[in-house]
Structure 1
Amino acid sequence: MDEHPNVALVRRAYQAFAVGDLATVGELLHDEIVYHFGGRSPLAADYQGKQQVFGFWARQYELTGGTLRIVPSVITATDEYAFVRLQATAERDGKTLTAPGVNVIRLRDGKALEFWSYTDDQYALDEFWS
């Protein structure tokens, strides 16, 4: 079975993010992107537009001293959605994060329009970011 073209698109975005290639990531985000980061930590919010999303990521990198890593293990996609099983790791103020999770991405015209980030242990993630 052939891979859906949106799998390659999403894989490209995660690879670019991993090496800090935000220009490429930005090309793959819709101008009206909404990024939902749930939970009860100070970072929990709905970030709207590229500027807010990039600001959110910058804050995560600042808080972790650049140690945040997001490694996808499975990517699957349809015409409208992509699903990514991943593991996030980071260090912050003597705390270590190992957070398996799932990202759900709604796509339009080959770009991420809406993004939900879910973790296997929301309490641990909230504690890490608080």
Structure 2
Amino acid sequence: MNDNLAVLRGYFDAMKAGGPPAAMPFYAEDVVLEVPGAHPAAGIYRGHAGVGEFGATMARLTGGTFRLVPEDLLAGEEHVVTVATASANGVSWRRLILSTVRDGKLATVRFFEGDQALVDQVLSA
């Protein structure tokens, strides 16, 4: 198995078993998370503190209803891709997550929403 795929699988296993605190070690200390859109959680988050801030913002915006279910995990030499279904407040959408792996950690993470206007609406309500 590709080492980068093992990182991604380990991350999602940790999320399932222990939530964000259990998954935080899978992020590089200087991780950059890019969240597109015109909603209150959109922006660029840096480091573990930034990832934590994003998670807290999503929990607040969705009343704790946000879920991400990975469906396909793909890995190359530098990039890993997650094809997933995201949901919040009774609405679901497709999300593609493109990440880079450096030294066995997620170094950059960027979301691509299947329907950005829908996500903006759900997270701005």
TM-score by length of 2: 0.91
What's the CA shift for 1:27? 1.0
Question: 2:62, 2:123 within 8 Å by CA — same for their partners in 1?
Answer: no
Contact 1:97 1:125 in 2 (8 A): no
- Matched letter for residue 28 of structure 2: H
1:82 is matched with which residue? Answer: 80
* Aligned residue among 80, 95, 98 for 1:101: 95
Question: By percentage of residues, which structure has more helix?
Answer: 2
SS across alignment from 1:41: coil
What 5-or-longer segments of structure 1 have no aligned partner?
A: none
Matched, 1:128 2:93: no
Report if aligned partners of 1:18, 1:69 keep a CA contact under 8 Å in 2.
Answer: no
Correspondence list, 1:63-82, <5 A: 63-82=61-80
- How far 1:43 moved relative to its partner? 1.2
Supply the distance in 2 between the matched residues of 1:20 and 1:110 (Cα, whole angstroms): 20
Q: CA RMSD in A?
A: 1.4
Q: How many residues align?
A: 124
Q: Distance in 2 between matches of 1:61 and 1:19?
A: 18
Q: Where does residue 3 of structure 2 map in the other structure?
A: 5
The answer on whether the counterparts of 2:93 and 2:115 sit within 8 Å (CA) in structure 1 is yes
1:111 is aligned to 2:105: yes
Query: Which residue matches 2:42?
Result: 44
Runs in 1 of length 4+ with deviation above 6 angstroms? none
Runs of 5+ unmatched residues, structure 2: none
TM (norm. structure 1) is 0.88
